[in-house]
Amino acid sequence: MIGKDLGILLLILDWLGSLVPDLLLADPANELLAISIALSWVVAGLLTGSYQIDNLDRIHKIIIRSMLSAILYYGLIFLMIGLRTGAMVPAGESLLIFFATFLPLVLLKVFLHRLIRVLSQLYPSRKNAIIIGRTPRGKELSRHFLMTTSLPIQYLGYFSNTPATHEEDIPFYLGALKDVKEYCLEKDVKEIYYALDQQRQYFKELMDFADQHFIFLGIVPDMDGMDFSRRVDTMLYNDSRIPVIASRRVPLRLEQNQEMKRAFDVVFSAIVLLILSLTLFPFIALAIKLSSPGPIFFKQLRPGRNNKLFWCYKFRTMRVNNEDQKQATKNDSRITRIGAFLRKTSLDELPQFYNVLKGEMSVVGPRPNLVVHLQEYPKEIKEYSLRHWVTPGITGFAQVSGYRGETRETILMQKRVDHDLQYIENWSLGLDMKIIGKTVVNMVKGEKEAY
């Protein structure tokens, strides 16, 4: 939304340019000032929090935050103009410019707010959610879900071993606790909110079930004495005072984080593919064709987010064979000479930027293992499936930490899983940047375990 608002703002400023022809954007030679003015809107929006999700769900919040943002914005640009020219914009013209830009932007935001609200009701894309327990906190959360239509949640009802007796509860009573797992799989439930009192064994079973099926599990306290050895998140829904504890911290569960990461992936991958397709790719393709008969590219089914299979692309580094579900080993006879170089420098992975553009992969994330590993490792490593909470990546925290290549022993895969979970629980765009930087360094140096 920042981009849309900025575009409209600059159009209005251009229309009002005749009022202050030498002070705003009328001077085409003043590129630095124009860039500074554009960046000032972004800075003002960030400093006042006018584009945070929590400040876009109520009209009065939109108006207040937009007002603060506009005041800060015009303070910045009029200060820059004054420093540049030694003269300030007349007060009357300043007010005219302020209201001529502020009012259309607020009206635009309010219109989009109402439009999104209507569209979300006509074409709902919400996650199915249930509540377990009919405690006072559970009832309060249930009422909040039913009354707050702006949430991206489709509340289906609650489970309790005590059948519903009140008329208002009967339509939302879904069954006893023993029916929860079957119902979740049948209705594709994505979020569970646990509002029971002390039931340690059942809670542990539910936590394992949620982890295995990529279901968000939120705990609604009061739960005295419940011990969490893992890192968790706490949240409040909109203006409610209902605390919810997430049983596992997954920053990429939040839509704004997903959108931020996806935007970076698309821009970064498009640039990389554009540059490499005109420079490096033709030489790699020619070398592969000369090294051995067969196609230039190799594709293989790999498990992605939520275990959904996709075709993963690579430059072919082996002679054509029928052992596509067998890991490469040291001194593997299947690997060609050019293939060994491509693997050593990780250049064979570059076609996966196409997978990133398609949304099947991310630039950074847990590496997608072989399909056979889905049946093999979960039996020995309890947390193995948790790697697939997020979209797999071309590079990852485990890989830049030295855990790549053949996993001859289970402990090596366990270490890889541990690093993947650290990444999932501590994700940030800054962490992605660090991993990308370290990947580039490793590509230049070459890696011992890349074979």
Place of tokens 């982890």: 211
Whether residue 207 has pLDDT greater than 50: yes
The whole-number average pLDDT for the span 101-115 is: 77
User: What is the SS3 assignment for 185?
Assistant: helix
Check residue 403 and give its pLDDT.
83
> What is the chain's mean pLDDT, rounded?
79
Check residue 14 and give its pLDDT.
40
- CB 161, CB 177: distance < 8 Å: yes
- CB 368, CB 361: distance < 8 Å: yes
- Cα–Cα distance measured from residue 108 to residue 210, given in angstroms and rounded to the nearest whole number: 40
Alpha-carbon distances, residue 249 vs 238, 429, 436 (angstroms): 19, 16, 23
Beta-ladder partners of 313: 299
Whether residue 166 has pLDDT greater than 60: yes
Whether residue 71 has pLDDT greater than 70: yes
Check residue 129 and give its pLDDT.
94
pLDDT confidence band for 337 (50 / 70 / 90): confident
DSSP class of residue 25 equals S
pLDDT confidence band for 324 (50 / 70 / 90): low
Whether residue 397 has pLDDT greater than 90: yes
Instruction: Note the Cα 364 to chain centre separation in Å.
Output: 11
DSSP class of residue 409 equals S
pLDDT confidence band for 233 (50 / 70 / 90): low
Check residue 19 and give its pLDDT.
38
pLDDT confidence band for 10 (50 / 70 / 90): very low
Check residue 113 and give its pLDDT.
72
Whether residue 333 has pLDDT greater than 60: yes
- Cα–Cα distance measured from residue 175 to residue 170, given in angstroms and rounded to the nearest whole number: 10
Which of 16-20, 49-53, 81-85, 397-401 is predicted least confidently?
Answer: 16-20
Beta-ladder partners of 335: 318
The whole-number average pLDDT for the span 48-74 is: 73
Which of 148-152, 162-166, 263-267, 283-287 is predicted least confidently?
Answer: 148-152
- Cα–Cα distance measured from residue 117 to residue 149, given in angstroms and rounded to the nearest whole number: 8
The whole-number average pLDDT for the span 47-51 is: 72
- Cα–Cα distance measured from residue 128 to residue 187, given in angstroms and rounded to the nearest whole number: 8
- CB 100, CB 74: distance < 8 Å: no
**In sequence order, what are the residues at sequence separation of 6 or more whose Cβ sits closer than 8 angstroms to the Cβ of residue 118?**
none
User: What is the SS3 assignment for 173?
Assistant: strand
Strand order in the sheet with 216-219: 173-175, 153-159, 127-132, 191-194, 216-219, 243-246, 233-236
Whether residue 4 has pLDDT greater than 70: no
* Six token digits for residue 319: 């002679």
- Cα–Cα distance measured from residue 390 to residue 397, given in angstroms and rounded to the nearest whole number: 13
The burial class, CB within 10 Å (0-12 / 13-18 / 19+), for 111 is exposed
CA torsion, ordered 220, 226, 229, 234, to nearest 10 deg: 20
Nearest in space to 260 (alpha carbons), one of 441, 91, 432, 23: 432
Check residue 11 and give its pLDDT.
44
Check residue 302 and give its pLDDT.
92
The whole-number average pLDDT for the span 356-374 is: 90
DSSP class of residue 197 equals S
DSSP class of residue 58 equals S
pLDDT confidence band for 226 (50 / 70 / 90): very low
Place of tokens 């830049």: 400
Check residue 450 and give its pLDDT.
56
Whether residue 9 has pLDDT greater than 80: no
Check residue 15 and give its pLDDT.
40
Identify the residue with better confidence: 444 or 231. Answer: 444
Whether residue 75 has pLDDT greater than 60: yes
pLDDT in tens, 238-273: 555 666 777 778 888 877 788 889 988 998 999 999
Identify the residue with better confidence: 237 or 284. Answer: 284
The whole-number average pLDDT for the span 102-106 is: 76
Check residue 84 and give its pLDDT.
62
* Six token digits for residue 207: 């936590």
Place of tokens 């007002």: 67
Check residue 85 and give its pLDDT.
62
The whole-number average pLDDT for the span 332-351 is: 86
Give the DSSP letter string of 328-358.
--TT-TTB-HHHHHHHHTTGGGTTHHHHHHH
* Six token digits for residue 200: 């340690």
Identify the residue with better confidence: 353 or 292. Answer: 353
